[in-house]
Each structure stands twice: as structure tokens, then as C-alpha cells.
Structure 1
Amino acid sequence: MQVTTKSNLGAILADWLIRSHTKEIWSMTAKSGWHKGAYIMPDGSVIGVPQQPVLFNGGSAAANAYTVSGTTESWREQVARLANNNPFMMLGIATALAAPMIGIVGADGFGVHLYAQSTAGKTTTADIATSLYGKPDEQRLTWYGTALGIANKALAHNDGLLSLDEVGQGANPKHVHTSAYTLFNGKGKIQGAKEGGNHPLASWRTVAISTGEKDIPTFLMEAGIKINAGQLVRLLNIPMERAKTLHGAENGKAHADALKRGCREHHGAAGREWIGYLSSHHEEARQAYLEAQSRWSKLIPESYDRVSDRFAVLEAALMLGRVITGWKAQDCRDVLQYIFNVWMAEFGTGNKEFEQIVEQAVSFLNAHGMSRYAPLPYDERDLPIRDLAGYREKKGLHDNDPMIFYTLPATFKQEIAKGFNVDMFADTLVKSDILKKPASGRSYQGKTPRLKHLGGIQQRAYIMVLVPESDEEAWSSHVRAKTCCLCCLIFINCMNYNYFCF
């Protein structure tokens, strides 16, 4: 075959195509994932039998990552077997199995963020997940970049797994904030075309597995960014635990090394077989999802319906995916119940936000209580205080007697409650006995004692009390009592399914 640049030959080719009277219509797409009943991998290979011929004309920098090494059987032996009975490693594989399934069952895209301060195996778990489809090292992406860049990555992984490693390493919190929403919203920005009108709106479905040393809300809060509740159920933040079932390995490191070696030498084949299975078992996938939805909706209170949907997808993927992993059905259900309870303990009861608010308030008082709060009674001979935050007053003569901080409204709203709704923040502090609300009225603001240096006037202030160290355990018990009711409800529901929550 020869290639020519002669322009007149284009007309000859067009004339030949018209005269050939071919009735075969081809479908062209630049997006990977499900198309016309078949699945197009990012490298352009087609899995399954399409309803009509498909031509992939897209391109992705990630295409080279989707190679095959070993077989499904070797992956099952060298990766899935070693991950079995380790909840977080099984969760990683569940996210990978769920990725091409959400488009079939009509579920929304979502993500799982695994976090831990130490080397608990976060990256190894993500590599186990990505090994299903190709080389883990080349599939591993980062949060470092713009929201548009993350959106482009999601588009390149449509109906697939997106692996984002180490949220805290160089990532811009503002970009992470917008990316976390954009990623699972499934739609890009509306962009105008220079010739008029708009470019077609980019859309995608993806399941992401993310890792980091901190949970996303804490990472953002430290930068003064408040994450909304909707984002928390789009990207489930789950504290990571080390693998405990080592399958004969001498220690945790040896187990992790064996898994890394397994992922490096055996990858890609299992994922292609899984997608091939899904391409001819759409109805079974939908039925598995509906059954899991029904089970989780009975198990979880209605207010957590979107979270139950995420776990239903993961369960359906694990149950059907046993044709690939070889795991037992009960193990698959039990591991997700365990993961759900871990998530519930951190985020499901409102515990996490409650703790973040209290920590933010107490940290401010610890940092500035002595330097920016003028002591009462105020002595005008004292040096003036820069950036006055309010006034402090010791109630009693003993060390364990409380210190009262009369905080000026501007300081409370702009600094202490930064990143939160002020009234919600204040209400949480009232419930934790850090903020004293006036007995009458709906306002959270009280008044200072009469300030002699200002002519005896009283100023409006948020009256805060720093909890003495000796009372910390009592306060912790108080917080636990306020947040355990929902956990008890979950426990009772779980017992109906013979699962244990704690």
C-alpha cells in the first residue's frame, strides 16, 4: 500500500464509496467506555460485540498503561488471593470491578479516598485495584493539577477506574475542591466555539480510588475551604488500616512486596475478562445491583440513601466479580459491612464535622487566648493588644477553674468559624458546652461584663469557655453520648443480617 498527498484523489475515493453502495454504517467515538454495546479500552481495543462497527478516534496519554501481562488465573493467584480477607485491599478491587459496571446499571460515578498518616498500604491497595486493567505505575495519577486537568483525566477514563495518589503532595486545595465536585458531577465546562455556538458538552462516568495522609475535608479545612455534604457522599473518605491476613508471608512488608510483584507481573488480563463478562451479562449486572440496593436500603437509614447506593454498586460488583476473583460470597458482603462501619464511625454520624468544629475553636483559643484577649479587669496601663479578639476572665483562683473568652463577633465569624456556616458552627459549640448561649432569644451572642475603660458599656460577644484538661475525658464521653444513637440504630439493623458493627 502506498500513501499519497494528492488532493484530487480524495474526490476519487469519495466517488468510489458512493458507487460501492455499501449499507454498513460505522459509529465513530473519541471516548472510551461503553459504546454500541461494546467496551472501548483507552488503547482503542474493543471488548464485546458492538451493535454496529465502531471506530475509536480518540487518544489518551494513559493508553500505554493498558497492557496485558500474565493471565486471569495468574492474577487471581498472585494478587486476588493475597488481597482476600484484607478489607481495604478487597475494597480497592471492588472499586475497580465497579468502574465499568456503573454505566450498565445506571449508577452515578463516585470515589473512595483512603487515608492514613503512616505507611498503611494505601498505594499498594491502589495498585492492586489498577492491576485489574494494566500497569499500575502508569495508571497512577495525582491530584496535582487544575480542575480542568482532572476533568480531562476523567474523560480519558470514562466507564473506567481513575487512580489519584497522595492528595497532600503539592496539590492545590482550591483545585482539589473544584475537582472533587467536577469529577463526580460527570460534566465539563460549557465552552463556546469560535465559529459560534458551543462545543459539545464533555461528559463521563468514572469510579475513582484516591489516597492521602489526610481525609479530604481536613485537607480542605486547613486551607479555609469548607466541603459540602454532597461531596462527602460522592467521595467516601475512609481511614485506612493495615493488612492483617498475610497468607503465609513472614510480615507485612513481605506481604506487600509479594503483592507489588504480583501486580507488576500479572495485570490487564483479568480486567478485560471482567469487561467481556459484563458485555454479555447486562441483565445479571442490573439484577445484582437491584438486589444489593434493596438490602442496603433496609440496612441504612433513609437519610443515607446516596451512601447506600455506593455500597450497593460495590457489593454487586464484588458478587458478580467472583467469576474473576474466586472469592466467597459471604466474604464479599462481610468486607463491605466492615468498611461501611468504619466510614460510619468517622463521617456517618456527623462525628467528624463535630470534632472538626470543636478542634478549630479550641485551637484558636489555645493559640491566641493569651495574646489577643485582654484580661479583665482591664488595666489601661498595660500595653495595647494588636488585633484584639475579645476579653478573657478567670472564674475562680484554681488552675482547673474555667477561663471565659468574650469573643468579638467579627473575630468569631471571620476567623474562628472560618469555612463553616456561622450559626451551625455556634450551635455545635453550644452542644459541646464550649459556647454559652443566652437563656433568652435565638441569638448566640451574649454580652461582656461592663468595660470600665470604655465608660462602663457592654459589648456583644460570643461567650466561649475553654475546657480544662482534667475535664477532657468527661467531655469526650459527652460527645460520644450525643453521637452514638445512630450507630446503635445501625448496629441493630446489622444484627438482623448477622453482621457485627463494632
Structure 2
Amino acid sequence: MFKMLIFAVSLSLAGTLLKDLNVPGGGFHVVGGSSIGKSTINHVAVSVWGDRSRFKTWRSTGNALEQIALIHNDNTLILDEIGEANKYEMDNIVYMLANGTGKERSNKGFENRETKTWRLLFLSNGEIDLRSIMQSIGKSPKDGQTLQIANIPADTGKFGVFENLHEFPSGSELADHLKDKAEYHHGSLGMAFIEKYIENHSRNKERAKFFFDEFKNRIQAENDSQVSRVLSRFALVAAAGELASEFGLVSWEPEDAIKAIAECFNSWLEDRGSGNTETEEALNQVKSFIERNEDSRFEALQTGSQPLSSQPVFNTVIRDKAGFKHYENRQDVYYIYPETFKNEVCKGICYKTALSELREKGFLKHDADRFDCKLPSNSTKKRPRMYAILGELLGESDD
């Protein structure tokens, strides 16, 4: 079974079912190393509706992609090579495509123009993903952004994107064969699918809903609202693939699409990791700040003339101080000024989300019903309220 190829064809058809199954738009991103056949997936997907001229590129402005999205309303947009995108616009563009709403604009008379809207799925590929692009320019990707475009690792561990070669001597030759065939045979499957679907619209809508629900019922996914949103998108693709099989338009057997898309979903879930990645990202950001700055921006808290820290302290000048480091209960505790925590440590994320997660995980020293606590008694006699992060977050412990 060609898992990724079934996924590509089913996804290309699935955009036409968005309205009937009431599923929000969104994207998929096939990610992996070079020369493993990622672009072949896009070639196969685009051939469902036409030739390679239907390929669009990430190397476009947000305004240009608005118009492209509008043209692909209730269909699937194929975008090639995410690495060519304007990395400074990527997060906004992904939100725009998935949410189906363009920018609000006014005319010369300062009257609001009608905002462009659409509903679509999109498929992308590349050696890097949205998270990596944003991190490369110092942005912190939010979970809502990365959920809009679900990563699917391209490498099956066998022959790149292929599980078997079907008598071809190499993966590259199989990829070339598929690309050649996609150039020669294209544009018929999509129209045939639409014709079959509308022949008996009421029944086929019910069948699509059946396959959609069947897929979701078979997936043993965690009860998480974020996972559920992406699961519905995969279920839509599975429904389109099963309908295509039921219509006799493709060569795969019944349930092959459900099985193939389930594998893709599980690959996404494994790549994403467990739990709420937005809170995980918050913990990682706090941890990273302390690790980068603990020797240069944290002053060892002293009582009298004795430092209370696990590390010897030298009389270095602390510039741009973020807070204090104090050794207590067999670990360092990092006391951070509230404004520094909000504006620097949690730049780009919600600081309250970070504090809530730190407290829930036991990494925050705090007073009852608060996130902060007073600085311990020290030689300056000043005891401001600060956020106190336990060194256990960094793996520190004398146990």
C-alpha cells in the first residue's frame, strides 16, 4: 500500500467535502530530508485537478496568496517548498490560509472593502517546518499556529516516501515515473469525483459522514481539544479516499484509505509529542532563559557576607540583572523580577500560561493562591515579590 500516495490523492479530493462535513480549513506539511520523494507527493496531489501549472509557491506575498486562496475555495491548494517562503510572514500566512479570511482593507474614501473569504485545505512540503522557520528568526511558535499545518514525516524508513518499490530499481526512478505519469494523465479524477458525488448528493453526503465518523472512532487519540481539531482534518481526508474507492475511481481497496490516513495521523501525533505543546513550549522557554543567563544575569543572594548558592561566587559585576540565585532545599532557586519575567522570559508567549504550568508541574515556589513569593531575607533587607523558579526545572538536584 502506498500510504503517502493514497494520502495525496485523498487530500486533493477532500477540499470539496469541507462544507458538507462542516470541517474548518487547514493544512498538511510533508517534511523530511532532501531526495526522498517529498515533491512527488505534491505532483500526485496536483494531478487530481490539473497539470503542474496548478502548483503554487510559498514564494509569494500575503496579498498574492489571498487571491490564490480565493481561487481555490472549496478545494485543495498545493504549495511547493516551504523553504522559499518569506519567513517573516509565514506565521500570519498560515493563519490566513487556514482561517479563510484575508486582510481588512479600505478604499480611497476610507470605506471598508468587502473582506475576501474562502474555505480550503492546503498541502506543503519542505526540509523544515513552520516551527523551525519561526525559531530561525527568534519567534516563539504558538501551538495554535503549528496546529494549522500538521507535519507528516515523509520518510517511511524504507525507500523515502515509499514503503516498497514495486519492481522499480530505486526510489528515485519510481518518483520519476510517477511525475511523468502525473504530467501525462491529469485533471480527470477530480471532475469524475465531483460528478459521482452530486449524482446522489444526499446519499453521498451521508456516506462521507459515515466514513468521517468511522475514522474518528477507530483512532485511539488522547482526549485533547487540539488533537481533536487536527483529527477531524485527517478524518475528512480519509472520507474522501473511501468515497473515491466506493465510486470505483481509484485502484485501492475499501478501507485502504482509512488505514493509510490513520498511519499519517499517528505519524503526526508522534512527531508532535504528547500533551499540550503550547504549555511545553512555555516551560522550555523559561528553562532556556535561565540556562542562557544564570551566570551573567543572576546575582547570588547573600545573607551577611555568605553566598547561599551551590556554586562558588566571585565578585563579578551583574549588568542588566534579571534576579537572584539562592541555594535552598538542595537546589538553586531563581528569583526573577516580574517585569523581566513578563517582557523577556516570556516574550511572545502568555506569561500566565507559563506560571500556571510551572506551578502545576511543581517547578514554582509560591505563596498560597499566588504565583509569586517574597525574596528571602538578605543583606540588603529588601524583600520584593518575585517569581521563583526551582532549579529542578533545569534538572538540578543534589539527590
Which of 115, 127, 133 aligns to 2:49? It is 133
Q: Give the Cα separation in 1 of the matches to 2:224 and 2:315.
A: 58
**Helix, strand or coil at the partner of 1:325:** coil
Which of 232, 237, 247 aligns to 1:309? It is 232
Q: Deviations over 1:79-135 (max 9, x none)?
A: xxxxxx243332222210112333455543322123335555332222221122223
Matched, 1:382 2:382: no
Which of 193, 202, 208 aligns to 1:283? It is 202
Q: Give the Cα separation in 2 of the matches to 1:295 and 1:214.
A: 33
Distance 1:426 1:105, change over 3 A: closer
Residue 349 of structure 2 aligns with which residue?
420
- Of 272-281 and 415-424, more deviation after overlay is shown by 272-281
- Of 163-172 and 332-341, more deviation after overlay is shown by 163-172
Distance 1:383 1:307, change over 3 A: closer
Q: Give the Cα separation in 2 of the matches to 1:92 and 1:471.
A: 47
Which of 113, 120, 123 aligns to 2:29? It is 113
Residue 96 of structure 2 aligns with which residue?
182
Confirm or deny: 8 A CA contact 2:285 2:345 kept in the other structure: yes
Residue 374 of structure 2 aligns with which residue?
447
Which of 71, 76, 83 aligns to 1:156? It is 71
Q: Give the Cα separation in 2 of the matches to 1:424 and 1:332.
A: 39
- Of 206-215 and 419-428, more deviation after overlay is shown by 206-215
Distance 1:117 1:393, change over 3 A: farther
Q: Give the Cα separation in 1 of the matches to 2:252 and 2:265.
A: 19
Q: Give the Cα separation in 2 of the matches to 1:190 and 1:389.
A: 40
Distance 1:431 1:197, change over 3 A: closer
Confirm or deny: 8 A CA contact 2:57 2:79 kept in the other structure: yes
Matched, 1:263 2:182: yes
Residue 381 of structure 2 aligns with which residue?
456
Q: Find the structure with the greater CA-based Rg.
A: 1
Residue 281 of structure 2 aligns with which residue?
356
Confirm or deny: 8 A CA contact 1:426 1:444 kept in the other structure: yes
Alpha-carbon shift at residue 162 of structure 1 (Å)? 0.9
Alpha-carbon shift at residue 154 of structure 1 (Å)? 0.2
Q: Give the Cα separation in 1 of the matches to 2:314 and 2:17.
A: 72
Alpha-carbon shift at residue 284 of structure 1 (Å)? 4.2
After superposition, residues 27-426 of structure 1 pair within 5 angstroms as 85-103=1-19, 105-116=21-32, 120-136=36-52, 138-173=53-88, 175-193=89-107, 199-217=113-131, 219-220=133-134, 223-227=138-142, 229=144, 231=145, 233-242=147-156, 243=161, 244-296=163-215, 298-299=217-218, 301=223, 303=225, 305-322=228-245, 323-347=248-272, 349-377=274-302, 382-394=315-327, 402-426=331-355
Q: TM-score under structure 1 normalisation?
A: 0.65
Q: Deviations over 1:452-473 (max 9, x none)?
A: 2xx222233222234598889x
Alpha-carbon shift at residue 319 of structure 1 (Å)? 0.6
One-letter code aligned to 1:382: N
Gaps of 5+ in 2: 308-312
Q: Deviations over 1:198-224 (max 9, x none)?
A: 544433222101224444345446643
Distance 1:459 1:198, change over 3 A: closer
Confirm or deny: 8 A CA contact 1:177 1:227 kept in the other structure: no
Distance 1:457 1:120, change over 3 A: farther
Distance 1:245 1:302, change over 3 A: same
Q: Give the Cα separation in 1 of the matches to 2:277 and 2:50.
A: 36
Distance 1:362 1:234, change over 3 A: closer
Alpha-carbon shift at residue 371 of structure 1 (Å)? 1.6
Confirm or deny: 8 A CA contact 1:447 1:461 kept in the other structure: yes
Q: Give the Cα separation in 2 of the matches to 1:130 and 1:334.
A: 22
Confirm or deny: 8 A CA contact 2:291 2:394 kept in the other structure: no
Q: Give the Cα separation in 1 of the matches to 2:79 and 2:40.
A: 13
Q: TM-score under structure 2 normalisation?
A: 0.80
Alpha-carbon shift at residue 298 of structure 1 (Å)? 4.1
Q: Give the Cα separation in 2 of the matches to 1:409 and 1:213.
A: 39
- Of 164-173 and 147-156, more deviation after overlay is shown by 164-173
| Matched positions, count | 377
Residue 310 of structure 2 aligns with which residue?
none
Confirm or deny: 8 A CA contact 1:408 1:462 kept in the other structure: yes
Confirm or deny: 8 A CA contact 1:104 1:285 kept in the other structure: no
Q: Percent identity?
A: 27
CA RMSD of aligned residues (A): 3.4
**Helix, strand or coil at the partner of 1:91:** helix
Q: Give the Cα separation in 2 of the matches to 1:458 and 1:329.
A: 69
Gaps of 5+ in 1: 1-84, 473-502
Residue 365 of structure 2 aligns with which residue?
437
Confirm or deny: 8 A CA contact 2:211 2:242 kept in the other structure: no
- Of 279-288 and 334-343, more deviation after overlay is shown by 279-288
Q: Give the Cα separation in 1 of the matches to 2:113 and 2:364.
A: 55
Confirm or deny: 8 A CA contact 2:143 2:277 kept in the other structure: no
